[in-house]
Amino acid sequence: MNLQSTNINVNITQEKADSYFDGRLLQLVGWQLLGFFITILTLGICYPWALCKVYGWKINHTVIEGRRLTFNGTAIGLFGLWIKWFLLSLITLGIYSFWVRISLEKWRVKHTKFA
C-alpha cells in the first residue's frame, strides 16, 4: 500500500487593525484652557489635576491596532510625586529638575493600559 502525503497549504493572515486618534481640536483646547485657568486660580497647586485631565483625554482617544488605550492616573497620586520632585529639586539646587520630565513620562506610561 502506497501512502501519499498531501500538503495542505493553510494561509493564515492576521489583519492588522487600524491605529488612530479620534479626539477633536475643540475638546483639547477646552481641556487645556480649563487646566490653565484652574492652575492660575490655585497658584499652581492644581497643575497635576490639569495634567491628568489632558493626559487622560489624549490617551483615552487613542486606538492602537484596534485596541483603545485608557488612562487611570489620578491627580492625588501625581500630586504626591510632584511634591517629592519639587523637594528633590530644591535639595539638589535644581539638578534633579532635569529628571522630572523623564519621571513624569514614566508615571504617564505606567498608568496607560489597553481597554
Question: Domain ranges in the chain?
Answer: 44-114
Instruction: Average pLDDT across each block of 10 residues of the chain; the chain has 115 residues. List them in order.
Output: 52 70 96 97 96 97 96 95 95 95 96 95
> Within a 10 A sphere around the Cβ of 38, how many other Cβ atoms?
15
Helices (H), the chain: 25-41, 47-60, 75-91, 97-110
Taking the whole predicted model, whether its pTM rises above 0.85 is answered as no
Residue 12 grid coordinates: 493564515
| Residue given cell 497658584 in the structure block | 43
Phi, psi of 33 (to 5 degrees): -65, -45
